[in-house]
Structure 1
């Protein structure tokens, strides 16, 4: 019982360590993200240090009794002595979270260190520590403890590692009678307490991880709630009316003292504290906002001096100023103000960063809408109309659903959605674009569709990257892939699409081929030559591609469609490889 109490005291050190590590964001990130060399080195250093400290703080056992002169730290151990300690907790957790390499490395470091301390069990404990690293790392990968965060499996691994140590002591330590006496005293306390220490470590880390995930989920939900309320207004662009409404929504949804929105010239809206001197139409006067417009990055102020408001009685003493960007160009700022610096929390900073990205995307969508209204080319307009509203909202619904399960994938998909619409905007402005841009457009579209319908179809790219700088008409490949997805596999659960870009007879070959339902011969003859009305669609996209390439290249271009019912469709476009560029 006395040894149980001493061991419980040492486990308390593990609990303190776990608590401190759980508050260190870098450590939590290393534990759960994909681990490269740098992350594994960090884990080896941290858990080796924990294991070494555990050896130093062990409880001395001499002649079958607990040494009454036990000190907190032991730098050496006499030949007749041994120590009961929590060293294997560090080794086990290292193997569980870092895998075999980290577990073995920590086991070797901790084992060699234990041997240097001395005592009649030094060699046995050193060997068992190294073996524990092998076992915990290997079993962790097999049982996927890091992925599932299973308390039970982790505790079982800890028990196995500590039991192994007892067996090795009996086999290696001499004399056997003394080893047997030692094991009879320390086995139960060490096995039980080390397993208990692993359990507590897991619980503490998991508690803080869950807390962080809940906070992120709430922030994401709040950010998208605000975005949903503001999207209608930001569609109108940065103007006084829309910005005033947006600022009021943000102030209502977030606990801030004031919200302001500016363009590059002046204040468009200011709601809350400071309205008396932060007035619309006024030129930007705060140095912080000017810096954000120039540098294009988020800046934080924690004092009135940093805000640099020229008004002497301005009560605002903290702020987050975020850039609003369109096409990577800063077009304005969103500012969240606070009277008390303590109100400027990390959670609010993260939420503000999310809003900045969402609002920037909304403004880009607004610009897309504006450009679509100003288009004079009827063919491009017809292609733009292919971007149906339901695709946009279905994409947002998909992203919204992903937020609950995989925030990182949702963020990546939102970027792809932005890339897709940015490509549409570029295509509306230019007659020719680099082939690489068109490929990016296709990939962004596919990322969204394949997230909505996983495993529905397989798209294979065969690309000659040396042709990526060749300029082609925009909306050449993307509508072909979209047509295949929406029409070729309409009554099928899965399908395959091949996209080829290569050089053929000194021409650029663009080819899409699917194994879908195919078409009748009469349909193939009309497709591309005229707009058809049918249940499957109008053929507008194909017609536009056909018309534009022949308008630009004349007889030097070739457009060919071949299709067989229940076999598939192949569309081949050949363009001349010439350096003509249309701005």
Structure 2
């Protein structure tokens, strides 16, 4: 018994060495790592059936008197038996592939063992098939319950099924005395050594699994890093500049030799190898790209001929082309090229697919962001348009009254009104206008209003020098002055004062309108600037419009505050950043 153990370890070593060499093959690693389809199960049956057959060929022949080791066992004497690691390979295959693989591998190894002969041939063949079925069934049940096949579980199953084989030999092999004598010699070495071999084999498989987890984690981290670096450029949409920057980032962080991005018709960017003939804004030159766009599926080529490049000296010999989709519509493609087909492995392909999915999402988000911006621009224009009638009707009424009493004055005011609305129309087409234009409009408005209410109030300007060229939203100041006039001094007998102060502070343009009018009640202050409020003299939108436009244009970086005390007056302040991103402002 003890003399058999070293020989059994040697046989286990052969199988483990073969398994280790196979673990370096990509096809074997892929079969081990994932769920198996019908073809892959057939491959597993053949592979682990072959392990069982190798065990038969390299087994140790046990005769009634002694045991011997030959180079290659092809036939066994009728009175002899065979000690080997056959069950180990079948059990591992069954644990990986389930009952179908276990049965198939068991049939191959078991029938082969039967053909070798010996008085345990039938018992060994039956026990091998049974071991495959039982191990496959256990694997299936554990997977259904979400449990993994650990090394400990595999070793336990392997040793138990090896022990079952001993029992079957004892029950079916004839003569019984020979069977009992055989079991006394081989039982413990075969059960223990096969368990040890199963443990080593499972260590190899678990190492493959860990490598896969590590590779996937690295892929995920790399994909998210690339996505993070490319996001600012995707927000610009697919154009030659943004796509070039994106391609450069991908080329730097992956093993690709060239990276390209296209829309549906043209190359938008190509960096890396073959840049001499794959040039931006050129028509699509590779049949592989056209194939990916037309089929809306990933296209992979592992040869120069498969790329279909019309430029014969092209150094690119492998490529993966992945469609970029926006709302299920093909917007373009991401292409990764390789000068050596071996570099286009499963890792690179999965990374490319992951990047394409992330990029498609980024394009959708960029499109949604652009649509939201356009909608916000439209809302701002609509809010501007709401302010215009508010002033127009009052001005027309004033001029109409003057036409009967002072024609020259009416003509002058009509020119003021014309000047005001000329600037107003220009402002409606622009998001920002120079401060000097806004002040010109305000002064035109004041001229009209003071004609309506002479000697009712005085207006003073306190403007810091050299701010005329600073850009502000149109119709920011006039509605504030209008509110101060109409709501600050509605029926006051005393003369009111309105002061307009414009200055810079903390890199912001500060606009303040002070009045010493009647003030605003606290209950009304809560709604001002936050929503449209009811107004007896207007539509109640002026303050709200200004607040909303400031939010939309400056992305929350502008300030708008109202302070008021009943019987004392009101102060409204606007704070605008002088150097807001995307808005050119200049102080001369």
Question: Per-residue deviation at 1:333?
Answer: 2.4
* Alpha-carbon contact 2:261-2:269 (below 8 Å) kept: yes
Q: Which residue in the other structure is 1:320 paired with?
A: 320
Question: Per-residue deviation at 1:275?
Answer: 4.5
Residue 62 of structure 2 corresponds to residue 61 of structure 1: yes
Comparing 233-242 with 135-144, greater Cα deviation is found at: 135-144
Q: Distance in 1 between matches of 2:36 and 2:342?
A: 35
Comparing 367-376 with 202-211, greater Cα deviation is found at: 367-376
Comparing 191-200 with 363-372, greater Cα deviation is found at: 363-372
* Alpha-carbon contact 1:64-1:185 (below 8 Å) kept: no
Q: Distance in 1 between matches of 2:33 and 2:313?
A: 48
* Alpha-carbon contact 1:64-1:182 (below 8 Å) kept: no
Describe the SS at the equivalent of 2:118. Answer: coil
Question: Per-residue deviation at 1:72?
Answer: 0.6
Q: Which residue in the other structure is 1:363 paired with?
A: 363
Q: Which residue in the other structure is 1:457 paired with?
A: none
Q: Which residue in the other structure is 2:216 paired with?
A: 216
Question: Per-residue deviation at 1:218?
Answer: 0.9
Q: Distance in 2 between matches of 1:101 and 1:344?
A: 33
Q: Which residue in the other structure is 2:200 paired with?
A: 200
C-alpha change, 1:279 and 1:372, in structure 2 (3 Å) is same
Q: Which residue in the other structure is 1:92 paired with?
A: 91
Q: Distance in 1 between matches of 2:45 and 2:339?
A: 44
Question: Per-residue deviation at 1:64?
Answer: 2.8
Describe the SS at the equivalent of 2:245. Answer: helix
C-alpha RMSD of matched pairs (Å): 3.9
Q: Distance in 1 between matches of 2:85 and 2:35?
A: 28
Describe the SS at the equivalent of 1:148. Answer: coil
Describe the SS at the equivalent of 1:334. Answer: strand
Question: Per-residue deviation at 1:82?
Answer: 0.8
Q: Which residue in the other structure is 2:124 paired with?
A: 125
Describe the SS at the equivalent of 2:237. Answer: coil
> Whose radius of gyration is greater, 1 or 2?
2
C-alpha change, 1:99 and 1:240, in structure 2 (3 Å) is closer
C-alpha change, 1:81 and 1:273, in structure 2 (3 Å) is closer
C-alpha change, 1:141 and 1:295, in structure 2 (3 Å) is closer
Q: Distance in 1 between matches of 2:100 and 2:306?
A: 48
* Alpha-carbon contact 2:139-2:149 (below 8 Å) kept: no
Q: C-alpha offsets along residues 285-327 of structure 1, whole Å, 9 cap, x if unaligned?
A: 4444444444434344556666566667765554433332234
Q: Distance in 1 between matches of 2:50 and 2:133?
A: 18
Q: Which residue in the other structure is 2:48 paired with?
A: 47
Comparing 215-224 with 159-168, greater Cα deviation is found at: 159-168
Q: Which runs of 5+ in 2 are unaligned?
A: 380-530, 533-588
* Alpha-carbon contact 1:115-1:122 (below 8 Å) kept: yes
Question: Per-residue deviation at 1:222?
Answer: 0.7
Under a length normalisation based on structure 1, what TM-score does the superposition of the two structures give?
0.55
Question: Per-residue deviation at 1:109?
Answer: 5.9
Q: C-alpha offsets along residues 441-488 of structure 1, whole Å, 9 cap, x if unaligned?
A: xxxxxxxxxxxxxxxxxxxxxxxxxxxxxxxxxxxxxxxxxxxxxxxx
* Alpha-carbon contact 2:91-2:102 (below 8 Å) kept: yes
Q: Distance in 2 between matches of 1:142 and 1:292?
A: 41
Q: Which residue in the other structure is 1:8 paired with?
A: 9
Q: Distance in 2 between matches of 1:22 and 1:270?
A: 37
Question: Per-residue deviation at 1:271?
Answer: 3.0
Question: Per-residue deviation at 1:56?
Answer: 3.9
C-alpha change, 1:220 and 1:187, in structure 2 (3 Å) is same
Query: Structure 2 matches for 1:64-75, cutoff 5 A?
Result: 64-67=65-68, 70-74=70-74
* Alpha-carbon contact 2:326-2:363 (below 8 Å) kept: yes
Question: Per-residue deviation at 1:250?
Answer: 1.5
Q: C-alpha offsets along residues 49-100 of structure 1, whole Å, 9 cap, x if unaligned?
A: 43344334422111231236x34132x4222111111111133224433445
Q: Which residue in the other structure is 1:240 paired with?
A: 240
Q: Distance in 2 between matches of 1:134 and 1:319?
A: 43
Question: Per-residue deviation at 1:239?
Answer: 1.5
Describe the SS at the equivalent of 1:336. Answer: strand
Q: Which residue in the other structure is 2:161 paired with?
A: 161
C-alpha change, 1:141 and 1:179, in structure 2 (3 Å) is same
* Alpha-carbon contact 2:90-2:132 (below 8 Å) kept: yes
* Alpha-carbon contact 1:19-1:205 (below 8 Å) kept: no
* Alpha-carbon contact 1:298-1:321 (below 8 Å) kept: yes
Describe the SS at the equivalent of 2:238. Answer: coil
Question: Per-residue deviation at 1:280?
Answer: 3.0
Q: Distance in 2 between matches of 1:288 and 1:323?
A: 11
Question: Per-residue deviation at 1:2?
Answer: 5.4
C-alpha change, 1:256 and 1:182, in structure 2 (3 Å) is same
Describe the SS at the equivalent of 1:269. Answer: strand
Describe the SS at the equivalent of 2:186. Answer: helix
C-alpha change, 1:11 and 1:222, in structure 2 (3 Å) is same
Describe the SS at the equivalent of 1:4. Answer: helix
* Alpha-carbon contact 2:297-2:323 (below 8 Å) kept: yes
Q: Distance in 2 between matches of 1:287 and 1:128?
A: 56
